[in-house]
Every structure is written in structure tokens, then in C-alpha cells.
Chain A
């Protein structure tokens, strides 16, 4: 079975531009979470979505937004890019049972975003 997939693998943008990152969860997983990993640090939680609704949000500015599609895939959007947005963006999926998501999350390989 395929794991979590993310696209693109690498991306280079300039300050002020907009970026869209994509994630497909493991088959059968209905919850998707996004994390930002700045070089040399642990990942930080950005968003969680399941049943197409935002279920949690970390301490990130409104320039960051996301959505989930009926097939449970997800997009992360970042507007007005800053140099500090350069990071590895990780997507993770997990099961949803009884209306609640399990916290055992399976991670994709990430998208490396460089902002110049």
C-alpha cells in the first residue's frame, strides 16, 4: 500500500509569492495534519483536517490556510511568502474512528520550500 504522498518534493519561490502544497493520505485515513520543520528544529503543528473541517490550528499567521477535499487529500496554502517560511512541510495522516482522529500519525516525505 502506498504511504502518504506529497507534491512537489522541492519548490523555490521568492518573497511575496504564493505557494500551494499537496498531500494524499494513506488509503482509509480520513485525517490529515500539516507540520512545518525549520532546519535544525522539530516539526511544529500547523493544521489538522478531517471530514473536510478544520479540527485544530497551531500558532501560525493567517497567511497559512488549508483545505481538505472529498477524497481526503489536502492542500496547504501560504500567501505573501517570507524568508522565514523556508522549511520542510510535512503532511501526516491518521485514522478517524467514532468521529475522533487517532494521534498515531504517519508522515509523508515532505515538501522542501525555499524562499529567496
Chain B
């Protein structure tokens, strides 16, 4: 069994300040972990993925995430927010390196103030 908890449903930051979106997971297997972003009326876009290689994962648009097994966390960060980062972000877990099912968290809506 696997599950994902995104600890904040909404996060608001000012443009140019750091972003932190928190995610905790539970998995019976060595998991693969992902962050996806969904802009309004758009499909889901993969930001980054962890698949048991380096624990610090760099993604697109300056985002990165760190896999911490001891804390079962996979928090998403960005040093400096941009207005275009405003969107819904989903933390996702999947068993192992292959498999058929992605389990999504409930999402975090990121708002960026000018």
C-alpha cells in the first residue's frame, strides 16, 4: 500500500522569495517519487523524479527536491519564486522503478504575490 500527504493545501509567497512545498509518503516498496505541476486548464507536467539514485533531485524551472528516507519526506523547493510558478503542485508516489499506478497527494496551490 502507498499514500501521499501534502501538508499544506495552500502556500502563498512573494515573488523572489523561497518556495517550500511539503510532502510525506508511505510505501511498502522502495518508492519512486515525483512532483507534477498543473497550471489552470492545462495538463499535468512532470517537474522532477526520484528513482533511488541521488537523493537531491533537480528538476525543471529551478525546482529541486530532497528524498529523506528517515523522515519519509520529499519536499519541493525553489530559491526564488516567479509569478509564472503560481499553479497546483502534486506529490506522487509509485512502487519501485516500474509499475502501473501513481498515487497522488491532494495537491498544494501555490500563490505568488507581486
Contact = CB atoms under 8 A, between A and B. Distances in A.
Q: How large is the interface on A (under 10, 10 to 19, 20 to 34, 35 or more residues)?
A: 20 to 34
Contact of B46 (A55, A106, A108): A106
Size bin of chain B's contact surface:
20 to 34
Given A42-B90, A109-B43, A103 B106 contact: no
Interface stretch (B52-60, B77-85, B93-101): B93-101
14 contacts: A31-B100, A43-B104, A44-B104, A55-B100, A100-B98, A101-B100, A102-B97, A103-B95, A103-B97, A104-B46, A104-B49, A105-B102, A107-B45, A108-B43
Interface of A: 3-4, 31, 33, 35, 41-45, 48, 55-56, 58, 90, 92, 100-110
Nearest to A104: B49
A48 B43 contact: no
Nearest to A103: B94
